[in-house]
């Protein structure tokens, strides 16, 4: 499959019986930076961002594609050097990152080899350990949307 010139970021969340919202964050393998983030990955071939988000969450955490995904307004431009280099030519310097939240019921996730661990965290703790600014922006938006409905 060919890598499409966009990135997705997915923030899995669940709501506990006492209405606390918890977010799953993933620690990258040390050879890939060792930082905490949401699920991230690239589109392939003619996938839409939503299709890529569903595939990535299944591949990286075993999350069922039928779960409810929320498209966030948060959107970032990511330097290609942080992703996969100048794969699309010397003039493509940044690619868009499309952000989503996904509601899940199960607390147990299945990690891929891209991550060494995951944690379920409340909003404030999650904000403390996220590495990328685009992740904190997307988490803020998702948390605000969820808490506004409660």
Number of neighbours of residue 95 by Cβ within 10 angstroms: 22
pLDDT bin (cut points 50, 70, 90) of residue 135 is very high
Question: Within a 10 A sphere around the Cβ of 24, how many other Cβ atoms?
Answer: 23
CA distance 95 to 125: 29
- Residue 1 and residue 44 in contact, taking contact as beta carbons nearer than 8 Å: yes
The phi and psi torsions of 145 (rounded to 5 degrees) equal: -60, -45
Residue with tokens 């966030």: 72
Angle of CA points 56, 91, 41, to nearest 5°: 5
pLDDT digits (tens, 9 = 90+) for 50-61: 999 999 999 999
Looking at the DSSP bridge assignments, the partners of residue 69 are: 102
pTM: 0.94
Higher pLDDT, residue 15 or 106: 15
Structure tokens at 13: 């969340």
> Could you give all domains of the chain from N- to C-terminal order, each with its CATH number?
3-149 (3.90.79.10)
């Amino acid at each position: 499959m060919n890598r499409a010139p966009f990135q997705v970021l997915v923030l899995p969340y669940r709501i506990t019986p006492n209405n606390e919202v918890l977010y799953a964050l993933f620690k990258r393998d040390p050879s890939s930076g060792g930082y905490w983030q949401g699920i991230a990955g690239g589109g392939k071939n003619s996938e839409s961002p939503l299709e890529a988000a569903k595939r990535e969450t299944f591949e990286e955490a075993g999350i069922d594609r039928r779960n409810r995904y929320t498209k966030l307004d948060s959107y970032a431009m990511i330097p290609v050097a942080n992703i996969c280099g100048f794969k699309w030519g010397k003039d493509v310097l940044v690619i868009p990152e499309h952000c989503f939240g996904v509601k899940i019921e199960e607390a147990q996730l299945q990690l891929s080899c891209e991550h060494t661990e995951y944690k379920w965290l409340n909003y404030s703790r999650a904000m403390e350990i996220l590495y990328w600014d685009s992740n904190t922006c997307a988490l803020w938006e998702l948390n605000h949307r969820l808490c506004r409905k409660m």
